[in-house]
Amino acid sequence: MSADRHLVSGLEGHYAGFVTRFGAFLVDIIVIAIVFAIGGRVVEFVLGILTRHRFELSAAGPPSWIALALWAFVYFAYPLAVAGRTFGMAVAGVRVVRVDGSELSSRRAIVRVLALPLSFLFLGLGLLLIVLRADRRALHDLIAGSAVVYAWDAKAARVRFLTRVRESGVAPAAGAQQESGSKP
């Protein structure tokens, strides 16, 4: 059994690898940037109407960076505390759990997000742990007592799909029929 095939006790998936986690993180960064930019334009527009002066929040310097940092914190912490995954994680099919496989608490979600910058320090050595450790935990995962695992079971999804097809009487696509072993 390879290192990435170790199971977290009681979970449906395997530990998520570096490429999947990086892809989810990129999606999250893009969403953070887009929503922040749109929100900034809305705030500029509203402030311009209320004060009858033109505002450019991008020229505000430190307050803009603080607002971006707060937005990124809320973007990561709230969905992790509520659902165990961010939008990017949902797209990539992963979720964050405690090391024992139970749901991530709000406190652990906040600690994980606050510790995330530490994984980037020193040329990303905290992230290198994802590649080096059998349980694929980065520095921020070790600090928060969390692990990132694949969240959906492809085999179970296939069984559910075939069950729906048989109940509805509609035949699956040709590729799906061949995969299931039946002839067209």
Q: What's the pLDDT tens digit per position in 123-178?
A: 899 999 999 999 999 999 999 999 999 987 655 655 666 677 666 666 555 444 44
Contact 80, 86 (CB under 8 A): yes
| The residue type at 79 | P
Q: What's the pLDDT tens digit per position in 102-126?
A: 999 999 999 999 999 999 998 899 9
- Over residues 25-47, the mean pLDDT reads 94
Cα torsion through 126, 128, 130, 133, rounded to 10: -100
Residue 140 phi/psi, 5-degree rounding, is -65, -30
pLDDT of amino acid 168: 64
Non-local (6+) Cβ contacts of 94 within 8 A are: 13, 16, 20, 21, 24, 85, 148, 149, 150, 151
Q: In this structure, what token pair is assigned to residue 2?
A: 């390879």
Average pLDDT, the chain: 83
Q: Report helix, strand or coil for 13.
A: coil
More confident residue, 11 or 166: 166
CA distance 107 to 12: 24
pLDDT of amino acid 166: 66
Which residues are registered as beta bridge partners of 96?
Answer: 148
pLDDT of amino acid 10: 35
Q: Is the pLDDT score of 58 beyond 90?
A: no
Contact 76, 118 (CB under 8 A): no
Q: Is the pLDDT score of 2 beyond 70?
A: no
- Residue tagged 């990086």 (tokens): 22
More confident residue, 158 or 50: 50
Task: Report CA-CA distances (Å) from 75 to 29, 79, 100, 109.
Answer: 10, 7, 25, 11
Q: What's the pLDDT tens digit per position in 65-97?
A: 999 999 999 999 999 999 999 999 999 999 999
